[in-house]
Amino acid sequence: MSYSPQVTCLNNGGNLASVHNKQQYDFLKSLISSSQSYWIGGYDAVSEGKWFWSDGSQMNYRLWNPGEPNNLESSEHCIQMNFGAAGNWNDQKCTVKIPFVCVIS
């Protein structure tokens, strides 16, 4: 069985979280331990460098860590939030097993 946070969210009637502004970002951070990275719904697997949200909404807010996204080894296509000292976003291999945040409507 493969690891797929988005499929888990879909199976529960939702999607991985989308972040459209600073208020949403701060809200998500308030729910999660400050030392834990976790998946949100951003991806660029369709076209490198063109980021979208897994729920189909437009990515109109970005909060990358310095030097990110860097597509290390040409294989980082998903966004982990709360990464590194700054606690902002990092592009990462989608197969990395970390917690994730679903938004269920």
* Domain spans in the chain, listed from the N-terminal domain onward: 5-104
Rounded distance between C-alpha atoms, residue 27 and residue 73, angstroms: 32
54 exposed, middle or buried (CB, 10 Å; 0-12, 13-18, 19+)? buried
pTM for the full model? Answer: 0.90
Tens digits of pLDDT across the chain (105 residues): 467 999 999 999 999 999 999 999 999 989 887 788 999 999 998 889 999 999 888 899 999 999 999 999 999 999 999 988 888 999 999 999 999 999 998
Q: Which amino acid is at 45?
A: A
Query: Of 80, 89, 100, 92, which is closest to residue 6 (Cα–Cα)?
Result: 100
Q: Is 71 left (phi over 0), alpha (psi -120 to 50) or beta?
A: left
Q: Which CATH class name applies to 5-104?
A: alpha beta
Closest C-alpha among 42, 44, 47, 46 to residue 19:
42
Tell which residue, 67, 72, 70, 92, has the closest CA to residue 81: 92
Please tell me the predicted confidence (pLDDT) of residue 84.
86
